[in-house]
A and B are shown apart, each in its own frame.
Chain A
Amino acid sequence: MLTTSKFMLILLSIIIMVRCVRSMLREHYEPETWAYIRSGRETLPVYHWENIIGSARSADLVVDKPGVRRVHAVLTRSDAGQWRVFDVFGRGGVWVNSVKVGPKGEQIFSGDVINLVGNTVRFQDIPQEKRVKLEASRATAGKRFSPALTLLELTLFQLFLLLQHALFADEAHLPAIALGFLSLIMLQWSCYNAMRIMGRSGFEVETLAFYLTTLGMSVAATSTPDDMFKQILLTIAAVALFLLNGWWLRSLKRTAAMRFPIAAAALLLLAVNVVASDAVLGARNWLELGGFSFQPSELVKVAYVYVGASTLEKLFRRRNLFGFIAFSAICVVALALIGDFGTALVFFISFLVISYMRSGSIATVFLAVSGAGLAGFLAVSARPYIAQRFASWGHVWEDVYDAGYQQTRAMSAAAAGGLFGKGAGSGWLKDIFAANTDMVFAVICEELGLIIGLCAILAMLTLAFFAVRSARNGRSSYYAIAACSAMSMLLTQLALNVFGSMDILPFTGVTFPFVSRGGTSLLSCWMLMAFIKGADTRRDASFAVRPGERLFSVGEQPEKAKGGKGKA
């Protein structure tokens, strides 16, 4: 029975991965078309809500005429369907219907003429009926790979996993463990049905997140079976927050407006944590609140993505970037003060990705890296226990009973699992300190085998590739940057966790997204998933994105009527 369930787990894992990967990375991904720009005889479709008009090849609307700068103007659309043109750098040379446009922008209507230093282009909106037709021609997500079938396979996976736990777990713990897996199954099907009712068919991101959460549930069942109820409640809360965050992201306006309050809240949280932490050795990155302990830095991750992303027309403002750099610096320094260098590194890598996406400047990235290198050197010389971790890196087998204690045990247990694992709940590594957080990859490899361990990594990689793919068709650069920075955080965390415990990188003690035990971490991972959903603009795919055709019914006609003067 054990052998059969082991093979089934692996078979189902591989099937789930193949289906999700093919669905997310191979399905057609036609862009949304929002309007047209007519330049001479050419008609350029407007694919995004934020577009650069310029002569550069990387411009969204290429107008390669004499006098047109590489990045000349920005054309944006609001949630409500209002279009504006901005002269982002305020250098002049942009007129709408002979009115000079400044950095604050001018509203434009269908038929209006945009004058770019003597070169005129005509802006043309799409009538509602044509809009509906255009949308109908786009491929719907989930057509080729039924999400329900994938979810059914995941359910089977969970049942086989539960069966293995039943073979090894204490009888006293078994009801709680069974309840854990069964409520997870109920939760994912409820989530799926909710999507169906909303008319959404893209469920791959959720499936992968549920797959990883299942592995996390297995780790909880093997390492802390007494806390199963807590794990169940946390998972439900995490999925609820995911839905809430996704719903919030549906409106670009209110999302962007939240940046300042969220930044302030994040700084406050970190400040409280710094004051409350009395770290002498190691990190003290949690707060006790009414019997529950939580890690503020995990919630700050979500805040960081909110604050770091930006809409295109604001992206070019200096003040905006400097504000973000200052915010990043405070976050990283605060985490260093708390002693949570692993998370500080996660923030820093994410900072590099965001700042590169925003500025495109490799020089900035280099500057940041060298600055951080210096700071890191100072930190290492100031705190000897960090230097000690670096010293044992690559030499853990030389000090099996002290400096290499955790890593050597993690490596041994992981290797002992082979490809198929020893069976869920049967391992010994779980009893080693921090096994279910910092060395969770090894716990998975020991109990479920290397193949499932690699599937967990593959799931995260797939999400990353998907985020990048979605970003290309995202409506706003806000969603694109948010999705990419969320994934850069999760990937960095994964790398530090897996390779740290396997002595390929220094052991920094961060969590494996979704899988490691830790309530706040689970909440933040699910909330970060909402950003991936926010960038997914496949037709009717994501609950975090308003359907394209419906967006036009919102005050489109009256505005068009109002804009009659543009016909001149």
Chain B
Amino acid sequence: MKKITNRAVSVLLIAALVIVGVLAYVVRYVDEGEDWALYFSRLNTDATGQVVDRNGVVLAAFSPTENRFAEDRATRVANYHVTGDYWGRSGTGVLSAFWYNMRSFNHIYGTTRSSTGTLQLSIDARLNNAAYNNLIGQKGAILICNYKTGEMLCMVSAPSVDPADAETEPEDGAFINRGLSSTFVPGSIFKLIIAAAAIENIDGISHRTFYCEGVTDFAGVEVTCPFEHYSQTFEQALANSCNVAFSRMAVQMGQDTMVKYVRDFGFLDGHELNGIKTAAGSYPTEFVGDPELGWSGIGQSTDLICPFSMLRYVSAIANGGVLVEPTLLLNDPDVKSVRLMQASTAETLAQMMSFNVAYSYGGSESFPGLALCAKTGTAEIGDGTSHAWFTGFLNDEAHPYAFVFLVERGGGGLTVAGRIAYTVLHSAVRS
């Protein structure tokens, strides 16, 4: 008998394996339980809720058994990058970002039930529709926010997706929000950054004149302008978008100063829009020689900028140097403010951007009814095409909007992005 029963330990071997398995499960539960539980969180919490725009237009509504979006296709498509979807395909929409507010998990109590909630966004869905339509099938991004409150009014990225349409195969890159998740060659809009640095670092800059013969030379490498600007003030140099003047300023201030300003203004970091991570830009931070530094000063070289970072920057300029961090929520109580530059710098830049419009962009003839301060950019990307940029703000107490318009490979900044900006900003002001 003893001989037989001694071998009963083989049963204990199975028992030991069961214990090991249980321990493995408990460890995984502690480690990954939250991810597991929240993956089907609406099932787990019985959450119901809806996402509406600032005017109460329903953009998404859900219950444990149902996933809905806006009624009409145009609204769904134009607002897709705001809402995202229930399946986390875009990852940057509010359905993904705010999920964490609608659900919670801890290892003791598991998922906790959340009450029915309505999330009201600061986004204007109709404005988004108008913005998306104005891109007329071109790739690009449009961001508009209120620089006094930080509220985002418009956030559009094209191409987009109809989340209710499971049949059609979306275009390549349609799930990416170009405004938040991508970086682009900035071209001349980068001169706004150099200008800020120059105001604070080059003595008497506003009294200096800059002479442009159409070309300048750094150690045998040329930087050119499309034509000679001859003698010009600092203000005129920005309005002319003079490459010669701005590349010389960059070289004069040196790389360390340039990097400091690019970094301080937040262009090298990723940011968060209500927890949605945005892309970090790039600028030559490792040592480069003068030719490269000159090119970097006019938004070429290895410069890359996320449109959202540009929106923060122009918002700060518009708001006297203080950035009210953008938010997607209407009446967001948690909005933060941070000073990005000196008030005097912001004021000077604002005046210069206003001068740009009057001096170079056709003033109120081209942009009637808008107190526009702006800068264009036509960023060559090396294959013969250019990104069209138009960024700035409305100097208008009633409509304090900062904006970034980008048309990927769209061509001229003023002619392409500027035209779209005019129409969309008019819609924004009207509504």
Contacts and interface: CB of A to CB of B under 8 A. Distances in A.
B11 A412 contact: no
A450 interface: yes
B10 A59 contact: no
B133 interface: no
Contacts of B7: 356-357, 360
Category for how many chain B residues contact A: 35 or more
Contacts of A418: 106-111
B219 interface: no
Given A413-B40, A499-B21, A491 B11 contact: yes
B14 A464 contact: yes
A498 B17 CA distance: 12
Given A428-B43, A471-B8, A353 B14 contact: yes
A307 interface: no
Interface string A212-234: 00000000000000000000000
A357 B44 CA distance: 46
Interface residues of A, number: 64
A474 interface: yes
Contact of A411 (B3, B17, B21, B36): B36
A358 B7 CA distance: 8
Contacts of A454: 22
Given A416-B44, A420-B110, A481-B4, A468 B39 contact: no
B34 interface: yes
A389 B193 CA distance: 58
Contacts of A48: 1
Interface string B106-120: 111111000000000
Contact of B107 (A312, A419, A495): A419
B362 interface: no
Contacts of B105: 415-416
A556 B14 CA distance: 42
Choose among B1, B22, B33 the residue with the greatest number of A CB atoms under 10 Å from its CB: B1
A52 B1 contact: yes
A96 interface: no
A492 B21 CA distance: 12
Interface in A431-477: 449-450, 454, 457, 460-461, 464-465, 467-468, 471-472, 474, 477
B8 A412 contact: no
A321 interface: no
Given A419-B107, A419-B108, A488-B11, A50 B37 contact: no
Interface in A324-383: 349, 352-353, 356-358, 360
A59 B2 contact: yes
Interface in B27-44: 28-29, 32-34, 36-37, 39-41, 43-44
Interface in A397-412: 397, 400, 408-409, 411-412
B429 interface: no
Contact of B2 (A60, A358, A419): A60
Interface string A489-505: 00110110011001011
A499 B14 contact: no
A504 B27 CA distance: 12
Nearest to A457: B22
Given A502-B25, A504-B24, A471 B5 contact: yes
A409 B8 CA distance: 37
B11 to A, nearest CB: 5
A135 to B, nearest CB: 19
A303 interface: no
A276 to B, nearest CB: 32
Contact of A352 (B3, B10, B36): B10
Contact of A498 (B9, B25, B34): B25
A428 B64 contact: yes
A5 to B, nearest CB: 15
Nearest to B113: A422
B14 A416 contact: no
B29 A477 contact: no
Contact of B44 (A52, A352, A353, A412): A412
Nearest to B34: A415
Interface string A82-98: 00000000000000000
B288 interface: no
Contacts of B40: 408-409, 412-413, 416
A472 B5 contact: yes
Contact of B110 (A60, A422, A487, A498): A422
A59 B24 CA distance: 39
A369 to B, nearest CB: 13
A71 interface: yes
A450 B29 contact: yes
Contacts of A52: 1-3
Contacts of B25: 498-499, 502, 504
Contact of B37 (A56, A415, A502): A415
B1 A474 contact: yes
A480 B8 contact: yes
A415 B110 contact: yes
Interface in B206-223: none
B10 to A, nearest CB: 5
B12 interface: yes
A460 B39 CA distance: 31
Nearest to A441: B25
A60 B34 CA distance: 54
Contacts of B8: 357, 467-468, 471-472, 480, 484
A415 B19 contact: no
B202 interface: no
B168 interface: no
B3 A71 contact: yes
Contacts of A60: 1-3
A61 to B, nearest CB: 10
Contacts of B11: 353, 464, 467-468, 484, 487-488, 491
A293 interface: no
A410 B11 CA distance: 28
A484 B4 CA distance: 11
Given A415-B33, A418-B111, A457 B1 contact: no
A312 B4 contact: yes
A420 B4 contact: no
A127 B138 CA distance: 105
Nearest to A400: B39
B12 A408 contact: no
A457 B29 contact: no
B15 interface: yes
A477 B8 CA distance: 11
B4 A480 contact: yes
B18 interface: yes
B101 interface: no
A417 interface: yes
A409 B22 CA distance: 19
Contact of A484 (B10, B21, B33, B37): B10
- Please give me the 3 A-B residue pairs with the lowest Cβ-Cβ distance, nearest first: A418-B110, A416-B44, A415-B37
Given A58-B6, A414-B29, A449-B110, 13 more contacts: A47-B1, A357-B4, A357-B10, A360-B3, A416-B37, A420-B110, A450-B29, A461-B15, A471-B4, A481-B4, A484-B10, A494-B18, A498-B21
21 contacts: A52-B2, A360-B7, A397-B39, A408-B39, A408-B40, A412-B36, A414-B29, A415-B29, A415-B36, A415-B37, A416-B44, A416-B110, A416-B111, A418-B108, A420-B110, A464-B14, A467-B8, A468-B5, A495-B17, A498-B21, A502-B28
Interface of A: 47-48, 50-52, 56, 58-60, 71, 312, 315, 349, 352-353, 356-358, 360, 397, 400, 408-409, 411-422, 428, 449-450, 454, 457, 460-461, 464-465, 467-468, 471-472, 474, 477, 480-481, 484, 487-488, 491-492, 494-495, 498-499, 502, 504-505
Interface of B: 1-12, 14-15, 17-19, 21-22, 24-26, 28-29, 32-34, 36-37, 39-41, 43-45, 64, 105-111
